[in-house]
Amino acid sequence: MSNFYDLTAKTPAGQELKMADYKGKPVLIINTATQCGLTPQFDGLEKLHQDYKDKGLVVLGFPCNQFAGQEPETNDTIVETCKINHGVTFQLTEKVDVNGANTHPIFKHLKKEKGGFLLPKIKWNFTKFLVNKEGEVVKRYAPTTTPDKIAGDIEKAL
């Protein structure tokens, strides 16, 4: 399996995002959805982004439609929807799968490093992973863990 810095993702517009560009910075990765009961977490994630981006934190949202069809937006509309409804300015990626045969390589890596409670699969939208400055997956958070509860771990990672 690759190391975190060997991995890439794509923006909703199709541009490559290299994880290697984030060396030396903690990265918070979240599988997101705009029509989920947990969608208000976008507000808290944006607050983390605003509070810690100047100290080095990178927040990456990976939209996913694998949970009850709760991400109906397209790659063309997702950024605007998140910005209008939640003020999101942190980086979003194109829509990805986080489970199954087409699991995005970043989520394969994250799940391998920090499996779930009984199974490594992602259970729901807004599962979060904290990657430290060295590219190590140091923490996995349940979908119901609100962003404000992660702030202390982010401060340690900075």
Please list the active-site residues.
Answer: 36
Inter-residue contact 12 to 75 (CB < 8 Å): yes
Q: Which of 49, 14, 75, 73 is nearest to 150 (CA)?
A: 49
Q: Which of 105, 149, 141, 134 is nearest to 30 (CA)?
A: 141
Q: Distance between CA atoms of 8 and 5, rounded to whole angstroms?
A: 8
Question: What DSSP element (H or E) covers 154?
Answer: helix 151-157
Which amino acid is located at 148 in the chain?
Answer: D
